[in-house]
A and B are shown apart, each in its own frame.
Chain A
Amino acid sequence: MNNRMTALFETKKENILNIYFTAGYPNIDDTVTIIKQLEHSGADLIEVGIPYSDPLADGPTIQESGTAALKNGFTLKLLFEQIREARKTANVPLILMGYVNQLMQFGVEKFVAQCADSGVDGLIIPDLPPNVFEKEYKELFAKHNLSFTFLVTPNTSDERIKMLDSLSTGFLYIVSSAAITGAKSGISEEQIAYFKRISSLISSPKLIGFGISDNETFTTACTYAEGAIIGSAFIKMLSKEGVAGIDGYIQSVRG
């Protein structure tokens, strides 16, 4: 089967909007509604966060949404059912973001098979080291037509960026600051220099994440990459306005 994400990057080269949200939040059943509404409103790519109580790469907003989702009764089994349900109509590329231990405890083989079966196109596992990916996961993901995305941060060396570029089978996730996720405003000169440095080193499509929250930051990010990722700001909006606020928010980001 065709990988929807690969297809997206082949046809669209700019202004790609990737929205991150936490599964099972604000309400346990919102996952399906959010995916459908995001596609309808014009998100190009959706990253579904798997709630976890030990998320080393995430800031307070995403952590709190994860804790709430776990309280709501979130399980991986339920998530795959929800994705299957959404896939009945939605055709937008879907990525799951989770942590190694969640895969391990569910069973890596079973997890990957469920991803392929329910219609997931790619994975982001920020705590999976590249050498372990290469040794134990690469082949398995490829077999199930799942792309894999690595994170690049300002302190990543040129050499390592090139290595990640060659290992990556999806896009490269360009972390705009060395911090954990959390909406910060504005993009600095220093960050721009960093985005330019990366562009000169890699051939994979790249999306800029961390700190993107509105039309201004999205537009700026899109001048240095194929697109950008919004997470914490979207979740903050959901906490306030719920799913009813999605369309207005996406339109305002698109401008």
Chain B
Amino acid sequence: MAMVNAANMPDVNGYFGEYGGSFVPPQLQVILDEITAEYLKTKDDPEFQKEMAYYQKHYVGRPSPVFFCERLTAKIGGAKIYLKREDLNHTGAHKINHCIGEALLAKRLGKTKIIAETGAGQHGVALATVAALLGLECEIHMGEVDIAKEHPNVVRMQILGATVVPVTHGLKTLKEAVDSAFEAYLKDPVTQLYAIGSVVGPHPFPMMVRDFQQIIGEEAKVQFEELTGTLPDNIVACVGGGSNAMGLFTAFLNDESVAIYGVEPAGHGVEIAGKHAATITKGTPGMIHGFKCYMLQDENGEPSPVHSVASGLDYPGVGPQHSYLHDLKRVNYTHIDDTDAIDAFFELSRSEGIIPAIESSHAVAFAMKLAKELPSDQTILVNLSGRGDKDIDFVVENFGKKYGI
């Protein structure tokens, strides 16, 4: 197994191995170069770090706890399952970690408005929240399908003062929302900052978002050692674009004893084209939204239609660092389908009193499978990336009957 020094990645041009980079029209490249330069200057500035730490502690509520799932573990009868509780962050998911970083950077760059896409609405809500906190304008692009599915989050963004722009082309989900947000951004890249929602997009976004998220793993490592005296044997996170996963994984990449699992959404099944979003499992290298990664595409290089029961996971591309970690075989990318994810959604709710986001339920579902195969002295740490409040109406309407509702 290849060990990876994440601190060395990406290279100066934004490459993780052959992935990443920046494939954008020149007018945008000029702006991205500015953002990169400012970010590299800012990130080690003690003033900036102090500001970040302040908001993380007093606003987000960090550190988020690590919790041992005693009843779930007993029920499954195998490895011990622990959760890193990112669902307890203000706004209910890990997304706020990078939103604070992006918004503080926007202010330093003298931008007055932040603009972004959202799938499940978690990134949109987190960004709208931080925009309100720091006095920035905020515009969120969201597919019409997701707007219907994630209605409470749409209302939340509006209450917070953000403008929600419905996206009506194509499949009307996450990919199209990115198209639309990019387009709006290109109209005025001088006063606006694109605050991307995951470790995707052209350089420097994958690096920047990872850096802002890696606090998850840094905290978890210390907390887990406090609880158990050692490192976890296995760590697990769901992978849409891959931000919560990079957040957890980064601190553990060089710990050879830790097996790492990234869980992709298998939708209705990875063998049915157009009905899943298991990008690394089924994709091939290509270019989407200005960067190179594994992607689901046809022979003309058109991004394929994707599906997942989790709006935050149905994207035909994936972060460049994940693409590279897959090639290096440092991370095992696996998949969980809609049915198993919903099962895990109810299982965790009913055995631990924690309602997970459907996205995070994919990670929980895989951890449950893995636990069953492992002896009881093994441990699994799952990144519970978000809470499921946003999903309750959708889940009950579509799957409630099976679970007695």
Contacts and interface: CB of A to CB of B under 8 A. Distances in A.
A104 B299 CA distance: 10
Interface stretch (B3-11, B105-113, B156-164, B183-191): B183-191
Given A75-B300, A152-B26, A127 B290 contact: yes
Contacts of B285: 104
Nearest to B295: A101
A100 B22 CA distance: 11
Contacts of A151: 25-27
A49 to B, nearest CB: 14
B152 interface: no
Interface string B302-314: 1100000000000
A104 B26 contact: no
A178 interface: yes
A99 interface: yes
B13 A131 contact: yes
Nearest to B29: A129
A54 interface: yes
B30 interface: yes
Given A178-B27, A178-B189, A54 B21 contact: no
Given A70-B302, A106-B300, A101 B286 contact: yes
Interface string B168-198: 0110000000010011001101100000000
A131 B29 CA distance: 12
A157 B287 CA distance: 26
B296 to A, nearest CB: 12
Contact of A179 (B24, B179, B187): B187
A92 B28 CA distance: 32
A57 interface: yes
B300 A105 contact: yes
A137 B221 CA distance: 45
Contacts of B289: 54, 56
Contacts of A154: 27
Interface in A139-186: 150-157, 175, 178-180
Contact of A53 (B186, B286, B303): B303
B360 interface: no
B23 A129 contact: yes
B187 A180 contact: yes
A128 interface: yes
A195 to B, nearest CB: 16
A59 B179 CA distance: 11
A100 B301 CA distance: 9
A67 interface: yes
B288 interface: yes
A104 B286 contact: yes
Contacts of A132: 21, 23
B297 interface: yes
Nearest to B187: A179
Contacts of B187: 179-180
Contact of A67 (B169, B183, B297, B299): B169
Contacts of B186: 56, 178-180
Interface string A117-131: 000000000111101
A57 B29 CA distance: 12
B25 A156 contact: no
Contacts, number: 95
A148 to B, nearest CB: 14
A52 interface: yes
A208 to B, nearest CB: 15
B30 A153 contact: yes
A102 interface: yes
Given A101-B287, A104-B287, A54 B26 contact: no
Nearest to B28: A56
B27 A127 contact: no
A129 B189 contact: no
B30 A127 contact: no
Contacts of B396: none
A54 B30 contact: no
Given A153-B27, A175-B27, A56 B302 contact: no
A104 B285 CA distance: 9
A76 interface: yes
A128 B23 contact: yes
Contacts of A152: 26
A131 B183 CA distance: 25
Contacts of B29: 129
Given A131-B13, A178-B189, A156 B299 contact: no
A129 B22 CA distance: 7
B76 interface: no
B25 A106 contact: no
B37 interface: no
Chain A CB count within 10 A is highest, among B26, B28, B31, B288, for B26
A121 B56 CA distance: 56
B157 to A, nearest CB: 24
A36 B23 CA distance: 33
B31 A155 contact: yes
Given A100-B287, A101-B288, A104-B286, A52 B302 contact: yes
A28 to B, nearest CB: 14
A25 B297 CA distance: 22
Contacts of A156: 26-27, 30
14 contacts: A52-B301, A52-B302, A53-B302, A70-B302, A99-B23, A99-B287, A104-B301, A106-B301, A126-B25, A127-B23, A151-B27, A153-B30, A154-B27, A180-B187
Given A100-B287, A179-B186, 15 more contacts: A53-B302, A56-B24, A56-B28, A57-B25, A67-B169, A104-B285, A104-B301, A105-B301, A126-B26, A127-B23, A129-B21, A129-B29, A152-B26, A175-B26, A180-B183
Q: Top 8 closest A-B pairs, CB basis?
A: A105-B301, A101-B287, A153-B27, A57-B25, A101-B301, A127-B23, A126-B25, A155-B30
